[in-house]
Amino acid sequence: MRLTPARVERECEWVRDRAPVVVPLVNEVRDDLGEVFGVEVDEITIAAYRGEVGTVFADGDRAVNVAALVALLRDLDVVDDYPGFVVDELLGRELAATIAGEHPLRLLAEATFHYADLLSHGGSDDPAGVDDLDAALAAGFQTRMPGWSWRERPGPFDGSG
């Protein structure tokens, strides 16, 4: 695989154009997790998702890594799928974490990836990695985007030290 600025831009466009699949998955994950944790979590819109994709890809170091992981998952298919299960999970989890940012968001995105993966089902003609790609995009973006009340207020340890 060769990554150039043009290739990174193409992957950015692909991720941006995937909004009709990713945004409903984000909102489903948020609804389910909000119910489990007893909180209201704001839904995201296609416009907000696309804007956040632009933010992620504006960070050059993050953009090249996200583009590489997206490209790998878009093309990943393993004969009889199961042997590829580990690698698509590994790549998906890492993509979710890379999108989300630093700790603790990184860890939350990794955990959320596994839940989103249960809800994500690629098309019958898609390579095996595509459902993991959708789950990773949903987990990473839902983690970094506003809507969780605990992220909207100061934490109990802010300013301590």
Would 155 be classed as within a structural domain? no
User: Which range, 20-24, 75-79, 126-130, has the best average confidence (pLDDT)?
Assistant: 20-24
Domain that holds residue 57: 5-29+41-150
Would 25 be classed as within a structural domain? yes
Would 57 be classed as within a structural domain? yes
The number of folded domains in the chain is 1
The mean per-residue pLDDT over the stretch 75-101 comes to 85
Percent of the chain past pLDDT 90, that is, above it, reads 70
CA gap 80, 21 in Å, rounded: 25
pTM: 0.91
Would 113 be classed as within a structural domain? yes
Would 126 be classed as within a structural domain? yes
